[in-house]
């Protein structure tokens, strides 16, 4: 046919000792174009934003694990304080339930045990405080890592903004980077909140020498009986306070037990036949 284009393939004679090779496959121009495009197409790379998001999540999870470990140590420590307060409540309740028992000497041994436990709690506060301060230092390092990630993202955002200003296509990637920046800022704020919470717990431990007695003492029962003592006829509040101080000094007991003692003694008087 006159209009048909012929393809001519030139074969070369193989050198002596060599086998004859298959002739190369002739490619159409369209196939040649497709081959060129395929060769120029870069390998698909993971999205930088997704990688950064994973990195941010990993950094914050590290912060959360450090925080939770420290808080668990703190809670275990303070559970001892709660248990000691419950023991004090039991001692007071037992003392008030025994009607014919008034002398405070019978509870002094228990009070000494409570004081020994308070001293033990104070002695064990140091390692807990050290654990919390170490956790705070680790969280500060996490904040530093997050701030570095944020700065890298901000630089990337500036580069995208500059490219868009010069007319280069940017696409939706710039929005993804903006959202990533907001997420990192949020994680920084959350981590700083964890640090602040640990700082308050450290302060609570440092205040324990001043607060240990109040925190380990059950006051509700004594306060209720104190109100009843003040409401009795002929009871002057100033004189009641004097009596309480005298009992505390002579019996070497805290205010709560002095109140319970005076209340029991008053009840004994009112029960006597006139």
70 with 202, same domain? yes
pLDDT the model gives residue 106: 84
pLDDT tens digit sequence for 141-157: 999 999 999 999 999 98
138 with 234, same domain? no
Which residue reads 């997050």 in tokens? 146
C-alpha span between 215 and 19 (Å, rounded): 97
Cα–Cα nearest to 267, from 112, 100, 108: 100
How many H-runs (helices) and E-runs (strands) does the chain carry? 9, 0
Which residue reads 């959202």 in tokens? 179
Q: Using the predicted structure, report yes or no on whether residue 178 has a pLDDT greater than 70.
A: yes
C-alpha span between 147 and 245 (Å, rounded): 59
204 with 229, same domain? no
pLDDT the model gives residue 27: 41
Query: Cβ neighbours of residue 184 under 8 Å, at least 6 residues apart?
Result: 56, 146, 149, 150, 153
Task: Give the domain extent around 201.
Answer: 48-217
- Sign, CA dihedral 170-176-177-178, equals positive
C-alpha span between 92 and 114 (Å, rounded): 12
Per-residue DSSP letter, 44: P
More confident residue, 190 or 48: 190
| Model confidence band, residue 270 (pLDDT cutoffs 50, 70, 90) | low
Q: Using the predicted structure, report yes or no on whether residue 33 has a pLDDT greater than 80.
A: no
pLDDT the model gives residue 103: 82
Highest mean pLDDT: which of 14-28, 66-80, 222-236?
66-80
Q: What's the number of domains the chain is made of?
A: 2
Query: Cβ neighbours of residue 122 under 8 Å, at least 6 residues apart?
Result: 208, 209, 212
129 with 242, same domain? no
Query: Is 52 domain-assigned?
Result: yes
C-alpha span between 89 and 197 (Å, rounded): 30
89 with 182, same domain? yes
More confident residue, 206 or 35: 206
């Amino acid at each position: 046919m006159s209009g048909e284009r012929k393809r001519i393939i030139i074969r070369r004679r193989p050198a002596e000792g060599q086998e004859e090779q298959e002739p190369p496959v002739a490619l159409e121009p369209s196939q040649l174009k497709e081959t060129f495009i395929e060769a120029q197409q870069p390998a698909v790379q993971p999205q930088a934003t997704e990688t950064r998001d994973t990195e941010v999540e990993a950094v914050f999870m590290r912060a959360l694990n450090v925080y939770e470990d420290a808080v668990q140590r703190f809670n275990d420590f303070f559970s001892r304080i709660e248990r000691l307060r419950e023991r004090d409540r039991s001692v007071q309740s037992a003392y008030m339930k025994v009607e014919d028992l008034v002398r405070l000497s019978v509870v002094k041994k228990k009070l000494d045990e409570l004081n020994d436990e308070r001293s033990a709690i104070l002695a064990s506060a140091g390692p807990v405080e050290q654990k919390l301060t170490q956790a705070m230092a680790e969280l500060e390092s996490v904040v530093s890592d997050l701030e570095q990630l944020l700065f890298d993202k901000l630089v990337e955002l500036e580069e995208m903004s500059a490219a868009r200003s010069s007319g280069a296509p940017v696409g939706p990637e710039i929005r993804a980077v903006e959202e990533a920046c907001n997420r990192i800022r949020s994680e920084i704020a959350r981590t700083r909140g964890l640090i602040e919470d640990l700082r308050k717990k450290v302060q609570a431990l440092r205040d324990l020498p001043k607060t240990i007695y109040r925190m380990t003492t059950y006051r509700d029962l004594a306060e209720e009986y104190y109100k009843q003592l003040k409401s009795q006829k002929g009871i002057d509040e100033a004189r009641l306070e004097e009596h309480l101080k005298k009992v505390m000094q002579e019996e070497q007991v805290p205010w709560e037990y002095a109140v319970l003692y005076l209340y029991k003694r008053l009840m004994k008087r009112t029960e006597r036949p006139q």
